[in-house]
Amino acid sequence: MKEVTCYKCDHCNKVVQTKAYMKKHEAKCFFNSKTRSCITCAHFKQDIYEPQGKVRWCNKSIDLTGGLNSNCPRHLNIEALTASENF
Ligand SMILES: [Zn+2]
């Protein structure tokens, strides 16, 4: 048996075996608010219906038909919003 070293993303549950690959992943991870992606945006909404599956949309009318966006000009960081509501 061999012991191996793994690297886990600071933003999601992804685990890989090389540090360089993880650095690349974290730079574009949808769960990293620095990528300004839908997952961390207050304007992103989704509902889950059976049997159709997920229905996703943007409250700022950004087109999501091609999948989730990154580097969105209308991104509103949901973490910053939640933090400000505590005051
Ligand atoms: Zn990640």
Task: Note whether residue 11 is domain-resident.
Answer: yes
Task: Note whether residue 24 is domain-resident.
Answer: yes
Task: Note whether residue 47 is domain-resident.
Answer: yes
Q: Give me 31's structure tokens.
A: 């769960």
Q: What is the pLDDT of residues 6-27, one digit of tens each?
A: 999 999 999 999 999 999 999 9
Quote the Cα angle for 13-80-38, to 5°.
Answer: 55
Report whether 37 contacts 45 (CB < 8 A). no
Task: Note whether residue 52 is domain-resident.
Answer: yes
Residue 62 CA to ligand 1 centre (angstroms): 23
| pLDDT at residue 87, rounded to an integer | 54
Residue 40 CA to ligand 1 centre (angstroms): 12
CA distance 77 to 58: 14
Over residues 65-87, the mean pLDDT reads 85
Task: Note whether residue 40 is domain-resident.
Answer: yes
Residue 27 CA to ligand 1 centre (angstroms): 9
DSSP state of 56: E
Residue 14 CA to ligand 1 centre (angstroms): 6
Residue 44 CA to ligand 1 centre (angstroms): 18
Q: Tell me the chain's radius of gyration from C-alpha atoms.
A: 16
Domain count within the chain: 1
Residue 28 CA to ligand 1 centre (angstroms): 8
The size of the chain, in residues, is: 87
Task: Note whether residue 49 is domain-resident.
Answer: yes
Domain that holds residue 30: 7-84
pLDDT-derived band at 5, boundaries 50, 70, 90: very high
Task: Note whether residue 25 is domain-resident.
Answer: yes
pTM of the model: 0.80
